[in-house]
Amino acid sequence: ELKSRDSKFKEYFKRFLLIIITLALIETVCFFMIKIFFPDYATYKGKRVASGYTLYYNTPGFNYSKSIIKNKLSEKDLAIDSNGFAYSGRICITKPSNTIRIFLMGGSALFGLGQAKPYDKIKAYPDGVYSYESSIAGCLKRKLDSLYHNKNFEVINAGCSGFTTKQSMMLYLDKVCHFSPDFIIEMDGFNDLGNITFGSDKENNTSKFKSFAYLISMNKNLSRINTLKLIQLIQNKMNVRKSENKSAEIAGQKLNYNSLIYTEGQYLKIKKQLNINSEDYLRTLNRYSSILKADSVKFIFMLQPLLNRQKVNKQLSKIEQLFVEKIDPVSPAVDEVNSMYSGNAFGTNITPYDIAHLMLLYYFDDGFSDSLKKTIEDNGYVYIDANKEMQNLGKDFEFFVDYCHMTIKANEFVARMMANEIIKQIPIENNK
């Protein structure tokens, strides 16, 4: 009986030892697989992280070295700091003396994204992210530094791809206000089309939150166990690839666009409801302005340059004209846009997807830009309609690389518009 027990113990011990050795081998194999297939796993991050304030924001510590657009090789890679901002140096909470601190806020055009697909089918431009030096923020700092020799300017890029004006306002409350800004320059408009289409940001943001919920799992701490770590990294890779494949599929559907199907007659049917819907957006601007006024911050709001506005725009180059004629400027899929909105407040058979096009083509130029101007100026702040300021630009000026993103030359032009308004508030003649 003792021999039998001893034999069973040895058998169990062998099995246990075999299991331990097998698990150790699996861990070892997974360790080397991670080293081979995910060499940068320790710094693996998505470009954005989820946020309870703003839905998401730029991932702290993310480096765009693999997708950077530079005007000169000497320019540094774009790196996001611990607050989600981009700047050429270190930003301290306490503002240095004799420093004018300017925060630029807005969506992807302000942040510095390059070309979106499928615009590259007509003419290919870089599709990464501009370096700080080549971005609007970098161009603005360079311009101000050249004009004022006795002041230090910090021009901080707090833009984030996809942001609406309300998200910028929430980012200000969450982070930016703690840095004692002197100026907030908001450049937005295109991303706000959705909120105006739906009448409020509730349904639009609910849909967007679902889209970005995966960011929580993408950016959570990786497991210490190599086997689980490898599984998580593979899942992250599959999610990224799935998203890229979906984006490529949608881009392919955008090549058969015909703006002529969207008529002014259709637009007039929805104009009254658009005016009602836009009131919520104008209230957001009033709140934003009031918050900045309470903090004694100067505010400049720029309605961003938009390629597809029909009546107020630059003289389009041949390439820009082809962009307008051939490619759908509303980038999400048709069913994705239509599914965001379950009601039919417009009382017509015009879908939300159609409404977005009609707004872009007609609404800004039919009094809405004037409403934005009145709202901002009634609060004592500065309003710039970029398209109006661009009307004298000739056909030889390649400005747009797609529906709203811009060339480096255009970034410089936009920065000059911003600088001109800052100069009015900090006159050059006082620069001693």
The pLDDT score that the predictor gives to residue 293 is: 97
Token pair listed for 236: 């992250």
Longest dimension (CA), the chain: 105
- Is the confidence at residue 102, as pLDDT, over 70? yes
When pLDDT is cut at 50, 70 and 90, the band that residue 345 belongs to is low
> What is the rounded CA–CA span in Å between residue 235 and residue 305?
38
Q: Which amino acid is at 80?
A: I
Identify the H or E element spanning 272.
helix 264-294
Pick the more confident residue, 381 or 34: 381
SS3 content of the chain, % helix, strand, coil (to 5): 50, 10, 35
Q: Pick the range with the lowest mean pLDDT from 14-23, 29-38, 53-62, 422-431.
A: 422-431
Count how many residues are written for the chain.
Answer: 432
- Non-local (6+) Cβ contacts of 354 within 8 A are 262, 266
Residues 95 and 392 sit within 8 Å (Cβ to Cβ):
no
The pLDDT score that the predictor gives to residue 124 is: 96
Question: Strands 55-58 and 48-51, how do they pair?
Answer: antiparallel
Cβ count near 91 (within 10 Å): 17
Tell whether omega for the bond before 118 is within 30 degrees of 0, i.e. cis. yes
- Is the confidence at residue 3, as pLDDT, over 90? no
Which long-range contacts link 376-380 to residues 24+ away (Cβ below 8 Å)? 376/285, 376/289, 376/299, 376/301, 379/286, 379/289, 379/290, 379/293, 379/299, 380/293
The pLDDT score that the predictor gives to residue 215 is: 60
Exposed/middle/buried for residue 321 (C-beta within 10 Å: 0-12, 13-18, 19+): middle
Q: What is the mean pLDDT of residues 22-44?
A: 84
> What is the rounded CA–CA span in Å between residue 387 and residue 364?
10
| Separation of CA 330 from chain center | 15
When pLDDT is cut at 50, 70 and 90, the band that residue 351 belongs to is confident
Coil, helix or strand for 89? coil
Token pair listed for 330: 């509303």
> What is the rounded CA–CA span in Å between residue 219 and residue 388?
42
The fraction of the chain above a pLDDT of 90, given in percent, is 60
pLDDT tens figures, 57-88:
998 988 898 889 999 989 999 999 999 999 99
The pLDDT score that the predictor gives to residue 322 is: 95
The pLDDT score that the predictor gives to residue 337 is: 77
- Is the confidence at residue 342, as pLDDT, over 60? no
With CA atoms as reference, report the closest residue to 199 among 279, 95, 117. 279
pLDDT tens figures, 404-426:
999 999 999 999 999 999 999 99
- Is the confidence at residue 28, as pLDDT, over 70? yes
The pLDDT score that the predictor gives to residue 115 is: 96
Q: Give the pTM.
A: 0.87
> What is the rounded CA–CA span in Å between residue 389 and residue 306?
12
Q: What is the mean pLDDT of residues 30-35?
A: 90
pLDDT tens figures, 186-233:
999 999 988 887 766 655 566 566 666 666 665 566 667 889 888 888
Residues 407 and 124 sit within 8 Å (Cβ to Cβ):
no
Residues 44 and 221 sit within 8 Å (Cβ to Cβ):
no
Q: What is the mean pLDDT of residues 387-411?
A: 97
DSSP codes joined into one string, 150-162 = S-EEEEEE---TT
| Phi, psi angles (nearest 5°) of residue 152 | -105, 125
- Is the confidence at residue 428, as pLDDT, over 90? no
pLDDT tens figures, 113-141:
999 999 999 999 999 999 999 999 999 99
**N-terminal to C-terminal alpha carbon distance within the chain:** 102
- Is the confidence at residue 352, as pLDDT, over 90? no
Q: What is the mean pLDDT of residues 93-101?
A: 94
Average pLDDT across the chain, whole number = 88
pLDDT tens figures, 231-288:
888 887 887 788 778 888 888 888 888 888 999 999 999 999 899 989 999 999 999 9
- Is the confidence at residue 148, as pLDDT, over 80? yes
Pick the more confident residue, 252 or 379: 379
When pLDDT is cut at 50, 70 and 90, the band that residue 175 belongs to is very high
The pLDDT score that the predictor gives to residue 404 is: 96
The pLDDT score that the predictor gives to residue 198 is: 72
151: left (phi over 0), alpha (psi -120 to 50) or beta: beta
Query: How many helices (H) and strands (E) would you count in the chain?
Result: 15, 9
Token pair listed for 92: 């301290």
